[in-house]
Chain A
Amino acid sequence: MPGRSLTRRTAVGVTLVSPLVATACDIDPPSRDNGSADAPPPPPEDSELVTAVVAALVRARSVVEAATLSVPDLTPLLEPVATAHAAHLGVLEGAVADADVPTPAPPRVPADRAGALTAVRRSEQRLLREVRRGCVDAASGDLARVLASMAASTAQHGAALADPAAGQEGS
């Protein structure tokens, strides 16, 4: 009997996903060749939703930056979170007009390690809620898939920050 392996399970996922990627992906990954993060605009019905997610990402990024400035020891711990935010913004920002990308007021983050981490965790939870909402509401299935991956990433980073051992790292 032909069996299936872990590797073939991955192939199933790729098979399911690839038609979406190969056909009309609304949000394409940035091209390696030109370094551009521009993406085709989302369907009109999704524009507002993408703008809301970008705003949430910009807000979360500002909290991470403020926490790193307040407690430089947190930099190694928060760097992967910042990297994820940058990548997620890189894919979505091209679909939003510059005028629609907000400039949030500098957030207040406690100067102590525990307080700063708590602020980042809460900010990431807020971001996760916004991304999940966008995923569920998206008219485009391809956009929903991108946002679902983004939500999974945000949840992973949130879980990593919630790990008590992580709170002690570098202290």
Chain B
Amino acid sequence: MTVLDALQATLADEHVALYTYGVLGARTSQATSPVLFETLTSGYRRHRARRDQLQLMVRDAGGDPVAAEVAYDLDGALLRPPQIERAAADLEAASVEVLLALVAQSTASVREWALTEATWSAVWRLQLGQTAETWPGAPELDQA
């Protein structure tokens, strides 16, 4: 896998993340769950900036940024705030995994950027009700 392949895979994942955050936000009441709504809004903004940056990186690497699908399937019932919060936390966990793969495939500024974003997603999971982990994004090491 080349750096460009890893960038494209990460970008494709960001398209899913943005779509998912949009759905989760739409299903969250700002009036009755203001903290969760704000957390989701902040997460959406971060991922939107991440997607934009990835599109630039793909172009810099000589690629044509992969486009988003029209829609994506979402798993499970996402109707109650705890379900929505958990789905967002799972989304961030998946982002850490994908970004760590980009870390492995890249060097210099791209690696540093991927590291920063992976760290952000890992820490953001705490905002979404999760606890600190030993090996975020590297589940095979957690089995050790």
| Contact, CB under 8 Å: A156 / B126 | yes
- Count CB-based A-B contacts (< 8 Å): 162
Chain A contacts to B: CB under 8 angstroms: 1, 3-7, 9-10, 12-14, 16-17, 19-21, 29-32, 80, 83-84, 87-88, 90-91, 132, 135-136, 141-142, 144-146, 148-153, 155-157, 159-160, 163
Complex Cα spacing A35 to B70, Å: 48
A149 → B minimal CB distance (Å): 4
Which residue from chain B places its CB closest to the CB of A132 in the assembled complex? B115
A148 → B minimal CB distance (Å): 4
Complex Cα spacing A60 to B23, Å: 41
Main secondary structure of the interface of A (DSSP, over half): helix
Sample of 17 more A-B contacts, CB < 8 Å, known A144-B104, A152-B137:
A4-B73, A6-B75, A6-B87, A10-B90, A13-B96, A16-B98, A30-B144, A91-B141, A136-B112, A148-B115, A148-B119, A148-B137, A149-B136, A156-B123, A159-B123, A160-B126, A160-B131
**CB within 8 A of B111: which of A9, A13, A136, A160?**
A136
| Contact, CB under 8 Å: A153 / B136 | yes
Say yes or no: A149-B138 contact (C-beta < 8 A), given A13-B101, A17-B101, A20-B101: yes
**CB within 8 A of B122: which of A87, A136, A153?**
A153
| Contact, CB under 8 Å: B103 / A135 | yes
Complex Cα spacing A31 to B140, Å: 11
Contacts of B39 in A (CB 8 A): none
| Contact, CB under 8 Å: A151 / B115 | yes
Task: Name the residue among A31, A144, A146 with the largest chain B CB count within 10 angstroms.
Answer: A144
Complex Cα spacing A80 to B136, Å: 14
Complex Cα spacing A134 to B136, Å: 17
B91 → A minimal CB distance (Å): 6
| Contact, CB under 8 Å: A4 / B69 | yes
Main secondary structure of the interface of B (DSSP, over half): helix
| Contact, CB under 8 Å: A5 / B74 | yes
Chain B contacts to A: CB under 8 angstroms: 1, 6, 9, 12-13, 16-17, 20, 69-75, 87, 90-91, 93-106, 108, 111-112, 114-115, 118-119, 121-123, 125-126, 131-138, 140-141, 143-144
Which residue from chain A places its CB closest to the CB of B126 in the assembled complex? A159
| Contact, CB under 8 Å: B122 / A152 | yes
Complex Cα spacing A84 to B73, Å: 35
Say yes or no: A149-B13 contact (C-beta < 8 A), given A5-B74, A156-B132: no
